[in-house]
Structures are given as structure tokens and as C-alpha cells.
Amino acid sequence: MRIQDKSDDEVRELIGAARDAGIDYFDHADIYGDAPQHGCERRFAEAMRLSSSEREQITIQTKAGIVKAGPYFDFSFEHLVASANGSLQALGTDYLDVFLLHRPDALVEPDEVARAFDELAQSGKVRRFGVSNHTPGQIELLKKSVTQPIVVNQVQLSLAHAPIIAQGSRRTCRARSSRSPSTAAAFWTTAG
């Protein structure tokens, strides 16, 4: 989220160090960077210039739904599809491995999200879907409409940001991760 002002060499060094450490999962969001949208995604693509075989070796996740200039969230069909298309273009790729709703919106229309997820899956533009910082109740609400499996809840967790624990997300992730190894890999916590 802070690579937009880095040089090509700095971005490649950062990603190279991650790859050397065994990391192959790279997280983006349409609002990361100073550009109106997709600034860090574009910077990543410009610096990395991935060949198709290099692209296949990594997992690219991005998020959408936060609108900087208010109304602050937009999980409409139109916005989610347009954001995914913008991310594809900025990242210079034909598909996104994972596409997340970026933070919960109390006014979400689950049917709009379901239509967008179905459109993106059927077109082959997105392989998997998830959410970011959603409570178990918010995920269950989405599941009533969404037909695509929600495979990720990316949770911000740090000493400065721990409310998600009180809302039960850690317990839910732990319960799901004990069910199967594939589910365990789909739920994780990010440093905040």
C-alpha cells in the first residue's frame, strides 16, 4: 500500500525479498496510493513486468468498495465490476486470484454483491472472493445472497487495532481452520 513512490529497483527488491522468504501472496486495493485509484497496483505492474509464467507463480489479491470522497463505501454491482476491471488493467493481468470487499458497509445490498461476484467469476476475471474485516454476522448476511464461496476474511490485527477479536472473528477463523487444512489456509490475520 506504500509502493507508489518507490523506484522500480526498490519495488523489485521488496518483492524479491518477499519471494526469497517464500511469500507468493500479494495484497492490493484500488484505493492504495495517491492516484485517484489503482496507483499502487499500477506501480507494482510497472516495476515487476511479470511474464505469464511469473504471474502464475504468485497470488494477487485486491480489494474494492471504499470510496475516498464519500459516500465512503460503494458495494454496488457497477462499482465492484468497474473496480475489478480497473485493477486488472492497472496490474496488467487477465485475472485476479482473490477479490475482496474492502471493509464492511452497514448499508450493503447483498444481492448487488452477489451479482457482481457472479459476473466476475463467470467472465473468468476473478477466481475467488472474500471480505476484509467483516464480523461473522456480516459474513453470514452476505452468504444468504452470494453464491460464490467466501474463502477469505482478511482481518487487521495489531496491538493498536484489536476490536475484531471482541467481535468474534478470531473464534470463527479458528473454528473454521480446525475443520480442514484448505479452510485453514484461506483464513489469516494481517499485521496492522
Classify residue 18 by burial, with Cβ atoms within 10 Å: 0-12, 13-18, 19+: middle
Classify residue 32 by burial, with Cβ atoms within 10 Å: 0-12, 13-18, 19+: buried
DSSP state of 131: E
Grid coordinates representing 90? 492497472
Find residue 66's DSSP bridge partners. Answer: 73
Q: In terms of DSSP bridges, do strands 126-132 and 25-27 run parallel, antiparallel, or are they unpaired?
A: unpaired
Enzyme catalytic residues: 32
Do residues 94 and 134 touch, judged by C-beta distance below 8 A? Answer: no
Measured distance CA(94)–CA(125) in Å, rounded: 7
Do residues 66 and 72 touch, judged by C-beta distance below 8 A? Answer: yes
